[in-house]
Chain A
Amino acid sequence: MCSVLSRARRWAFAFHVLTRQQHTAWESDHHGRLYTGHIQTSPVQKALLAVGSGIAALQNPYRHDMVAVLGETTGHLALVKLRNRMRNNPEGYTILIERPRIQLSTLDLSWMSALPDGSLGREYLCFLEKNKVTPDTRANVKFVDDEELAYVMQRYREVHDLLHTLLGMPTNMLGEVAVKMFEAAQTGLPMCILGAILGPLRLSTSRLQKLTTSLGPWALHSGIHSRCVLSVFYERRWEQNLEDLREELNIEPPPFTLPANSKRPS
């Protein structure tokens, strides 16, 4: 479109976009909310948020809210593709209809800890305990302007810990980078791709070597060839054996096991 307009008209258009009436009373009363926690944003605001959160996240990688905002503001196309992939899968379609959430309040912890060793539920609980994380620390989606896509984003965030269990990766920097590479290959979210590229820069040389020689290629290969991990109804598969689930999803076991995280980066 911009190639058609003359330069002066382009400037006039940009000025108009920036300065036309910024709000209406109705919008402010409801804030244009499509779901709880939704904040309506203009394209200009989304662009500013993407840049600002990117800088903030690079400066301080422990600002998870900024990583989340970056993911939301840059991930529209990838979310649409993911949603379509989920729709085309019967289990994924069920998830989109039923909208399950992975939160401590919805999990039956006593039943899950009684499950046999090697089952998904048991291994997941072990992972949460060993790495001292909880599924409730995920930020809510704010800046996605479609209710279904917002759910897909939220599901992606909540499945992240389960991915750690599926891939057998701890929550230290090396494990997180491996999981990010898997996610980047699977989902195509720009935030994952950015994390997969920039994350290795913070690794020590020995870990970087491990990553480039075996972990990295394995993660990418698994990400490309495995089934869509968001289309798996984990809440109904807690009793399933982890190895069986890996086979079903076409995820190869990790080339070597990493020690559980001693100091938590997150």
Chain B
Amino acid sequence: MAAPLCALASRTQRSARAELAQRLAGSLTPSLARGQAGVGRRWCGDAARQKSTHFGFQTVPEGEKAARVYKVFESVAGRYDLMNDAMSLGIHRLWKDALLRVMNPQPGLRLLDAAGGTGDISFRFMAYTRSVHEQKLRRRARSNQTPSWQDITASYSSEGAGPPQSRAVVCDINKEMLKVGKGRAEEAGITTGVSWVVGDAEELPFDEDQFDVYTIAFGIRNVTHVEQALQEAFRVLKPGGRFLCLEFSQVSTPLLSKLYDAYSFQVIPVLGEVIAGDWKSYQYLVESIRRFPNQETFKGMIEEAGFARVQYINLTGGICAIHSAFKL
């Protein structure tokens, strides 16, 4: 990009300008370095824990990352779905539909939608299982055109049982996102089957062996300790349960990669400023995508957590990838 003016200025000029800039503002925002030092001083007694991690392209103490991510999503929650449509030109819906097709859930399953936010995956899950169930009924009806009276009696008794109830639990660390999701559920008229739980993907508020499917869509890159989230996923899944992760990944072709980078860094923060009035949150989002490990590395991490049969599928040239694994 065009060499920033500050890079051309000498260091002394910059510090003089910085002083003037401080007088310019009524309130001072501590620079990242000073904030880091402040946190470091507080954690002085525990040198071992003073590790740092990445927050987009910034480096922050580990303890700070979760709070900063929380603030990002708190501020974007209201416009989250609108921004997703604007940034991906609606393609994110196709990605999520692809995830459901890979999952191919049968009615009666229990889903944990981790980092579920506004509930996109859970709503699709409920709709998918409902349509699978309806298809089954239609097929049964078609093949049963002339039932005998014994068949009719049998169908009366089974009708009372009703369809096997699929259940989805949306778990997210951010209350604002869950609020938006609940509002969407009410508008769509989805009253049964979906529950909304506040929880940290690194420390899930569920017992082990609870869920048939665990999904995390566009959420795992925001987690501070990805390995811990994977271990938690392993813990709460039933034996035979399936782990599915939909996440931005590395683009395979260099040409597409350049265009994608240009689009991400030039257009997306601008969209964030114009539509949501928030440049910095969307700058963080595009930077965090670059920081996330690529498909093969992430596959290795999933295997480390104890999963078997790990596979990945690239979507849209590698812009997204679906990682799938089983707890055996």
Contact = CB atoms under 8 A, between A and B. Distances in A.
Partners in one complex: yes
Contact of A142 (B29, B57, B59, B279): B279
Contact of B20 (A103, A105, A147): A147
A20 B259 CA distance: 10
B266 A34 contact: no
Interface in A44-100: 44-45, 48-49, 52-53, 55-56, 65-66, 69, 99
A29 interface: yes
Contact of B270 (A20, A30, A38, A45): A45
B266 A48 contact: yes
Interface in B275-298: 275, 277, 279-280, 287
A99 B1 contact: no
A36 B274 contact: no
B208 interface: no
Interface stretch (B2-10, B140-148, B189-197): B2-10
A48 B271 CA distance: 9
A19 B4 CA distance: 16
A28 interface: yes
Given A23-B57, A145-B5, A37 B25 contact: yes
Given A42-B1, A49-B274, A19 B262 contact: yes
A106 B26 contact: yes
Contacts of B56: 28
B137 interface: no
Contacts of B209: none
Given A22-B266, A23-B1, A29 B26 contact: no
Interface of B: 1-2, 4-7, 17, 20-29, 31-32, 56-59, 258-259, 261-262, 264-267, 269-271, 273-275, 277, 279-280, 287
A151 interface: yes
A247 interface: no
26 contacts: A18-B262, A19-B258, A19-B259, A20-B1, A22-B1, A22-B261, A22-B266, A25-B57, A27-B7, A28-B56, A30-B32, A34-B17, A35-B17, A35-B21, A37-B29, A40-B4, A42-B1, A42-B2, A43-B2, A48-B270, A53-B274, A56-B275, A65-B277, A99-B20, A99-B24, A101-B24
Q: Which of B5, B17, B261, B274 has the most CB of A within 10 A?
A: B274
A154 interface: yes
A118 interface: no
A257 interface: no
A259 interface: no
Contacts of A65: 277
- Interface centre among A34, A44, A105, A146, by most chain B C-beta atoms within 10 angstroms, is A34
Given A53-B274, A99-B20, A42 B28 contact: no
Nearest to A37: B25
A36 B18 CA distance: 9
A29 B68 CA distance: 15
A18 to B, nearest CB: 4
Interface residues of A, number: 46
Given A18-B262, A35-B21, A35-B24, A29 B59 contact: yes
A52 B4 contact: no
A38 B2 CA distance: 16
A208 interface: no
A22 B58 CA distance: 15
> Most chain-B CB neighbours within 10 Å: which of A38, A40, A142?
A40
A112 interface: no
Given A28-B58, A32-B7, A36-B28, A147 B21 contact: yes
A224 interface: no
Contacts of A25: 57
Nearest to B4: A32
A179 B73 CA distance: 39
Given A19-B258, A37-B29, 5 more contacts: A19-B259, A28-B57, A40-B6, A44-B266, A52-B270
A120 B73 CA distance: 45
